[in-house]
Amino acid sequence: MTVPLYSYDCEFQGLVPLRRALKLERDGLAKVVRHKKGRVSRAIMYKRPGDPKPTTVRDHMGQAYSYRHELNDGHQPWALRPLGHRIKTDQSCEYNLAPPETRPIFLRVLLDCMAGNATC
């Protein structure tokens, strides 16, 4: 008889013999999940030192490009997250939202959208 074996982040690893799953449980490496009647349904490995952190949906989505910016007067407008480095001025903090080498590409796309040459 075989049972499914899952990693600590619930990723299917394959089928293992029942005696192997019970040995993993005995050695403290896995948790064996049983039905009410005692039949083994699956084994889930415990996280060990050195294992990578589990992936999340956020890992695939990336970083948000906008955020709530706190102003001194209490307002919280949306602001764009900078792609490049910060430029500090004497009165306020301005952002260089894109590196200078990407500006011609952005302007070309913007002009094409305004002319109706591209679908935006």
Cα separation of 27 and 6, whole Å?
16
Residue 69 has pLDDT above 60, yes or no: yes
pLDDT (mean) for 78-86:
65
Asked if the structure places residue 63 within a domain, the reply is no
What's the DSSP call for residue 117?
Answer: S
Segment among 39-43, 73-77, 85-89 with least mean pLDDT: 85-89
44 by DSSP, 3-state: which?
A: strand
Asked if the structure places residue 66 within a domain, the reply is no
Structural domain range at position 20: 2-45
Asked if the structure places residue 68 within a domain, the reply is no
- For residue 62, the model assigns a pLDDT of 63
CA 44 vs. chain centroid, Å, equals 23
Segment among 50-59, 64-73, 82-91 with least mean pLDDT: 82-91
- For residue 36, the model assigns a pLDDT of 92
- For residue 91, the model assigns a pLDDT of 44
Tally of domains within the chain: 2
User: How confident is the model over 88-119, as pLDDT tens digits?
Assistant: 554 445 556 667 788 788 888 888 888 765 55
- For residue 26, the model assigns a pLDDT of 96
Asked if the structure places residue 69 within a domain, the reply is no
